[in-house]
Amino acid sequence: MIRAAIFPNKYIQGRNAIREIANFIEPIGESAVLLVDRNVRSFIEPAIMDSAQTKGINIQSIEFGGECTWDEVNRIADVARSVDAQMIIGAGGGKTLDTAKAAAIKSDRRMIVLPTTASTDAPTSALSVIYTAQGEFQEYFFLPRNPDVVLVDTQIVANAPARFLSAGMGDALATWFEADTASRAGAKNMAGGFTTSTGLTLARLCFDTLIEYGPSALKAAEQHAITPALERVVEANTLLSGLGFESGGLAAAHSIHNGLTELKQTHDYLHGEKVAFGTLTQLILEDRSQDEIMTVLAFMTAVSLPACFEGIGLKNVSRDDLRRAAEAATAEGETIHNLPFEVSVDDVVDAMIAADSLGRTIPGACGWQEREEELEKEPAPAM
């Protein structure tokens, strides 16, 4: 049996870490292309430029076009070649990072990744998701290597809306349950081998960190405050979950997420929110113990993750729509087939209905929407 695990080369995290970026990229080269999101450019670009200047690193900055298409990837790769940059730095949301990663591979440059939220576990991975210009999923581009440097500035993450951290916890919540299931079923992971105990242990540490520190980290994030609990959860959402999913394996939660994206009503909800609902559904499908399910449900409620249809835009959803989602979730090649038993479309539909019905028994289990409504009702604090 061949076991395999993959990792990014270097992971950096901390308050104002971006000001130190030159120290970490100097060994790679003296010229870089920076691909940056429009909405963060005004503060990311000067911080990187200032740091780069201290080490004499030349940075060519380009604004991200908005979609991770092959055209955009090739545009960035061409710039990197034309200015003879040794590395491509991606700074911003998931699509910007995926474009920078793919362009670094296409142009044979080194890969630096700066996520500005802790909302998914994609930054450390050797994977880019390619879309059409219309924003439809096109294909997974599996990269031959992971990023050279992943740098997370906790101040930037803490300044982002707290809902992103919550969604990141939803993506990270799936990691242990998917890795555990995939490994017990003898499924291969993203590294092309069977799960190592390293992958599995990191996935478990991810889950334990969320349960212990998730609620207080979210409270801190709501106030844009950096605490040790927030640092732990940012690490869990980004590094532990990233390593855990790639070297552990995926199962039903992400397939159910993929199925849910078939329904337009879910499009305003974040990746991690749908993955969290998919996790609860997976636990029900797997007939996990009541204790385990209630632990997860209590956690989801505490960090405003949706445990009901309403929380992912599916209030009054029809069974036909649920079938459409379940058909996509059980399509050939989906990781739901890493479950150690056969799963039918009806099994998935019924498990989703049961997850929603269980969630609705708990006050506050409908996620961020409900929480925002409550916050609006609260009187403004006296100044």
Residue in the structure block whose two tokens are 């559904």: 281
Does the annotation count 224 as an active-site position? no
Q: Which of 121, 148, 180, 257 is catalytic?
A: 257
Q: Which of residues 284-323 bind Zn ion (CB under 5 A)?
A: none
Shortest Å, Cβ 104 to Zn ion: 21
Q: Give whichever of 172 and 358 is closer to Zn ion, judged by the CB atom.
A: 172
Is residue 110 within 8 Å of 86, Cβ to Cβ? yes
Q: Which of residues 147-206 bind Zn ion (CB under 5 A)?
A: 171
Q: Give whichever of 171 and 273 is closer to Zn ion, judged by the CB atom.
A: 171
Shortest Å, Cβ 225 to Zn ion: 26
Is residue 314 within 8 Å of 266, Cβ to Cβ? yes
Q: Which of 171, 321, 347, 356 is catalytic?
A: 171
Q: Which of residues 101-120 bind Zn ion (CB under 5 A)?
A: none
User: Taking the alpha carbons of 296, 302, 307, 313 in that order, is the dihedral positive or negative?
Assistant: negative
Shortest Å, Cβ 176 to Zn ion: 13
Does the annotation count 337 as an active-site position? no
| CB-closest chain residue to Zn ion | 171
Q: Which of residues 200-259 bind Zn ion (CB under 5 A)?
A: none
* 334 part of the interface to Zn ion, by CB under 5 A: no
Angle (nearest 5°) at CA 364 between 359 and 367: 80
Q: Which residues of 355-381 are buried (b: 16+ CB within 10 A; e: fewer)?
A: bbebbeeeeebbbbbbbeeeeeeeeee
Residue in the structure block whose two tokens are 């924003």: 135
Does the annotation count 271 as an active-site position? yes
Shortest Å, Cβ 51 to Zn ion: 30
Alpha helices in 223-340 (DSSP H): 228-235, 241-248, 252-260, 271-285, 290-302, 319-329
Is residue 237 within 8 Å of 172, Cβ to Cβ? yes
Q: Give whichever of 22 and 202 is closer to Zn ion, judged by the CB atom.
A: 202
Shortest Å, Cβ 120 to Zn ion: 6
Question: Would you give the binding string for Zn ion spanning residues 341-380, x where CB under 5 A is met?
Answer: ----------------------------------------
Shortest Å, Cβ 214 to Zn ion: 17
Q: Give whichever of 148 and 171 is closer to Zn ion, judged by the CB atom.
A: 171
Quick one: 124 exposed, middle or buried, by C-beta within 10 A (0-12, 13-18, 19+)?
buried
User: Could you tell me the CA-to-CA distances from 80 to 88, 95, 102, 172 in Å, in that order?
Assistant: 7, 18, 12, 33
Q: Give whichever of 25 and 97 is closer to Zn ion, judged by the CB atom.
A: 97
User: Could you tell me the CA-to-CA distances from 125 to 58, 326, 353 in Å, in that order?
Assistant: 26, 27, 32
Strand partners, 88: 33, 111
Does the annotation count 37 as an active-site position? no
The tokens for 279 are: 């996790």
User: How many chain residues are in contact with Zn ion, going by CB under 5 A?
Assistant: 1
Q: Which of 180, 271, 321, 347 is catalytic?
A: 271
* Interface positions with Zn ion (CB under 5 A): 171
The catalytic residues are 171, 254, 257, 271
